[in-house]
Amino acid sequence: MNAVLEPAAGATPWPSWRNRFASLGDAFFTRLPAQPLPEPYWVATSDACAEALGWPADWWRAPGALEAFSGGAPWPGMQPLASVYSGHQFGVWAGQLGDGRALWLGEVDSPSGPMELQLKGSGLTPYSRMGDGRAVLRSSIREFLCSEAMHHLGIPTTRALCVTGSALPVRRETLETAAVVTRVSPSFIRFGHFEHFAHTAADRAALQRLLDFTIDHYAPECRDAREPAAALLEWVARRTARLLAQWQAVGFCHGVMNTDNMSILGLTIDYGPFGFMDGFDPGHVCNHSDHQGRYAYARQPNVALWNLHALAQALLPLLVPEGADTAAADAAGERLLEALEPYREVFPRELQSRMAAKLGLATQRDGDRELIDDLLRLMAAEHADFTLGFRALAGLRTADGADHAAVRDPFVDRAAFDAWAARYIGRLRAEGSVDEERAQRMNRVNPKFVLRNHLAQAAIERAQRGDFSEVERLLKVLQRPFDEQPEHAAYAAHPPDWARSIEVSCSS
């Protein structure tokens, strides 16, 4: 995108802003302006995200848009603030945290309801904790691309509207340049917001206001429950279970599943050291900073449940009257644990359903779980490419003597694959599967294109030289992850050998 832009005739007028989160009160945030990027320029915008907001594609040409979305003069109606929350980081209580490099701008009405906009990388806040409040071009491009990629994969996520950049130097592992990414979400409320008022602030009234706010605006079906706090917990547990099943089914690793990085709406939030697996490895750790492997791919579902228990603990004061005895507290705790039970039911059911769909199974039969598990064991044994392996299976044919050379290609142990494929073909024949119909179904759930680290890295390196064309091109590819796109076949190829050396950490 050109770094110097002139407002177009009839450009987008400023939208009307609302600020419901600000109604919670000063205990929830600090009002402060952003710190503007010096000499900002546009890096990338998402037309699809703009459309979701009800904005035209040329919104960024509106007078003052570049300044507003790089931390300069806000548009009329924006009320910049940084929210406070707490949380557990890598399983350890970290106390007060908060928006250390993010700034909430407010809400706009969209075709799908109110959407909050937030700047990430807009400078120091009271919650920066020794940080500089800035984000770098590298991490901003990664979040921008992955937010939009996940949306087009059909996975619940925050969105990304745009990235702006500047020559301002920022120190991470090396000296890099600054950037700001604008995030979009129905809400940025996290588990950690509830933890803050239950533990750090010990403010029962504020905790109750937060609960009421969340239920009234996002989960009104919980309002008439006998215990709305328990009802909300179950609501969150179900949404989180479905989210985790989707992550696992597509081979996505979040990398830093701290409670302050868990959305109360069950959205993927806070893209830092994430990664889509190349070679399948249940023990894969995408975060170079995660030395104990707490957030390995196979551990993500249990970590999510652990985090839900932390949320339950934060909600406990709302079920226990002040001055209640230990027995009353224990009984309330049991009711919250019961509210978490649906997670144990929903997650495995959703994952089984999604994995069966990846194999094109139209019915449920005994032995399906073993068939799926045996394929995953085979893939893990030789680190077969997760995305390419499942995509290739759509080419399998059930006729005797069919040529399966292309289907076998992702697997080194051909004999082991052939033995599994014989069982798979028998299963497909048993339900009368029609090859072409099944292939179409499979290609609607097994993406051909995901944001692999080496693709993001190539786009980042060109952007660091001032060329943003690869960011735009990659975004367009990722917006159609299930389509063949033969003209972009290189984006679906096996990753190059140098991709193994890419490391992402909490600064990524």
Catalytic residues, by residue number, are 260
CA–CA separation, 456 and 471 (whole Å)? 8
For residue 145 the two structure tokens come to 């691309």
Beta bridge partners of 88: 93
Phi, psi values for residue 9, rounded to 5°: -60, 135
Helix or strand or coil: residue 230?
helix
Cα atoms in the 13 Å half-sphere on the side-chain side of 60:
24
For residue 501 the two structure tokens come to 């050396």
Alpha-carbon radius of gyration of the chain: 24
CA neighbor of 49 nearest in space, from 120, 7, 106, 111: 111
CA–CA separation, 133 and 71 (whole Å)? 12
For residue 420 the two structure tokens come to 């599994």
Angle at 50 between CA 44 and CA 56, to 5 degrees: 105
Helix or strand or coil: residue 45?
strand
Residue owning tokens 């995901």: 450
Helix or strand or coil: residue 56?
coil
CA–CA separation, 457 and 452 (whole Å)? 9
Beta bridge partners of 135: 179
For residue 102 the two structure tokens come to 């993010």
Instruction: Give me the sign of the Cα torsion angle 223, 310, 317, 330.
Output: positive
Residue-by-residue DSSP string for 401-438: T---HHHHTT-S-HHHHHHHHHHHHHHHHHTT--HHHH
Contact 118, 185 (CB under 8 A): yes
Contact 303, 287 (CB under 8 A): no
User: String of b and e for 330-368 (b: at least 16 CB within 10 Å)?
Assistant: eebeebbeebbeebeebbeebbbebbbbbbbbeeeeeeb
For residue 441 the two structure tokens come to 């179904």
> CA dihedral in degrees (29, 35, 37, 38; nearest 10)?
170
Contact 264, 482 (CB under 8 A): no
CA–CA separation, 508 and 500 (whole Å)? 16
Cα atoms in the 13 Å half-sphere on the side-chain side of 253:
30
